[in-house]
Amino acid sequence: MEEHASRGIGRFRSRRALVSALLALGTLVACSERDDTLPRRAAELQVYAAASLRDVLLELEPGLEAILGADLLINLGSSGDLARQIVAGAPADVFLSADEREMDRVAVLGLLEASTRRDFLSNHLVVVEPLEDSADWKSIFTQPFDPGQLAGGRIERLSLANVETVPAGRYAKAWLEARGVWSSVAKRVLPAIDVRAATAAVESGGAQAGIVYRTDASRSARVSVVFEVPRSEGPAIVYPAAALRRSADSARARRMLELLSERSARAIFERHGFETLPRAR
Instruction: Looking at the structure, tell me whether residues 153 and 172 fall in a common domain.
Output: yes
Find the CATH number of the domain harbouring 209: 3.40.190.10
Could you list the mean pLDDT of each consecutive 10-residue stretch along the chain, which spans 281 residues?
Answer: 41 42 51 64 87 97 95 97 98 97 98 97 97 90 97 97 96 97 98 97 98 96 97 93 96 96 95 87 41
Closest to 61 measured CA to CA, from 119, 17, 123, 112: 17
Q: Are residues 112 and 130 in the same domain?
A: no
Structural domain includes residue 256: yes
Q: Note the pLDDT of residue 24.
A: 53
Euclidean distance between CA atoms 76 and 201, whole angstroms: 19
Q: Report the number of distinct structural domains present in the chain.
A: 2
The residues with which 70 forms a beta bridge, in sequence order, are 43
**Could you tell me if 219 and 249 lie in one domain?**
no
User: What pTM was computed for the model?
Assistant: 0.86
Residue at 33 is within a domain: yes
Q: 86 in a domain, yes or no?
A: yes
Whether 106 and 186 share a structural domain: no
**Domain annotation covers residue 212:** yes
Beta partners for 239? 121
The pLDDT of residue 108 is 98
Q: What is the pLDDT of residue 134?
A: 84
The CA distance from 72 to 274, in Å, is 22
Domain containing 207 equals 125-228
**281 inside domain:** no
Mark whether 13 and 107 lie in a shared domain. yes
Q: Are 137 and 129 in contact (CB under 8 A)?
A: no
Do residues 27 and 77 both lie within one domain?
Answer: yes
Cα–Cα dist 158/114, whole Å: 38
Q: Give the pLDDT score at 176.
A: 98
Interatomic CA distance for residues 168 and 229, integer angstroms: 13
222 and 261 housed in the same domain: no
User: Could you tell me if residue 110 is inside a domain?
Assistant: yes
Note whether residue 76 is domain-resident. yes
- What residues have CB less than 8 Å from 164, skipping those under 6 apart? 80, 170
Number of neighbours of residue 55 by Cβ within 10 angstroms: 15
Burial 28-50 (b: 16+ CB within 10 A, else e): bbeebeeeeebeeeebbbbbbbb
Residue 233 lies in a domain: no
